[in-house]
Amino acid sequence: MVICVKDRSTGEKCHISRNVTGWTIHGLWPSVGSSKGPAFCNNSSKFNESAIEKLLPALDVYWPNLHSDTVRDDFWAYEWSKHGTCAKLVKETRNEYLYFKKALDLFQMINFTGILTDIGVIPDDNKLYDVLDILNKITPRLSKVKGIKPRLSCYKYKEQFYLTSVIICFTKQFEMTSCLQKPRDNRLYFQSLKDKKQIEKVENLANNDDLIDCPHDHLVKYPTIRYH
């Protein structure tokens, strides 16, 4: 997974258990008018693992904490504190259990790993894929509504770009919508896999709003999972 590639450059420790076989969730992120924020909306609403006990087997597979130098629920606690507390005004995500369940439901409904497999994009450490071609092929499979596109992001490590995340946006009614639609009031922001941290700006990035930090020639790696 690309998160482990990133960890090589940050010094963090990456661990992937063998029950993780494809893409994973980063989070379900509410936004009001932009793709950033709100965040940390209710400091008194503390994360409680027992509230999501029934979801833990699925979370370990589809929303795992891949950093071995942190405790199991560290990632979930952070996502709840930063984003989940801001989703409580929406009926379907009004509490901790419903928030995590909705993210799992959306993720499994989309099945991005399966979509990539269907279009012939298979993890391969020695092959380069055209990320724009991937975007064009997955768009009609994600939504039959014309004009609605996901966004793909890339990460550069040692002069090589990697496909790192897919961003899919929904309305508060959880209908898929364009992430670049303006205004973007009351959109919910869903991201699969680990999102990029702040990385240095690189030259020759693709001039396409649907591609984030991807190379000008669109060529990226989609590596195999290396279990630790």
Evaluate the omega torsion of the peptide bond into residue 38 and state whether it is cis, within 30 degrees of 0: yes
* Cα(38)–Cα(46) distance, integer angstroms: 17
List 12, 15, 26, 67, catalytic entry = 26
Q: Which candidate in 12, 79, 200, 203 is catalytic? A: 79
Q: Which of 180, 172, 152 is nearest to 91 (CA)?
A: 172
Contact 196, 5 (CB under 8 A): no
**Alpha helix stretches (DSSP H) within 34-171:** 56-62, 74-82, 96-110, 112-118, 131-142
Decide if 114 contacts 166 (C-beta within 8 A): no
Active site residue 83: yes
Burial class (CB in 10 A: 0-12, 13-18, 19+), 227: exposed
Looking at 12, 83, 175, 218, which residue is catalytic? 83
15: annotated active-site residue: no
Amino acid symbol at 155? Y
Residue with tokens 């009031």: 185
Q: Under a CB-based contact definition with an 8 Å cutoff, are residues 68 and 20 in contact?
A: no
Q: Is 92 a catalytic residue?
A: no
Q: Which residues are catalytic?
A: 26, 79, 83
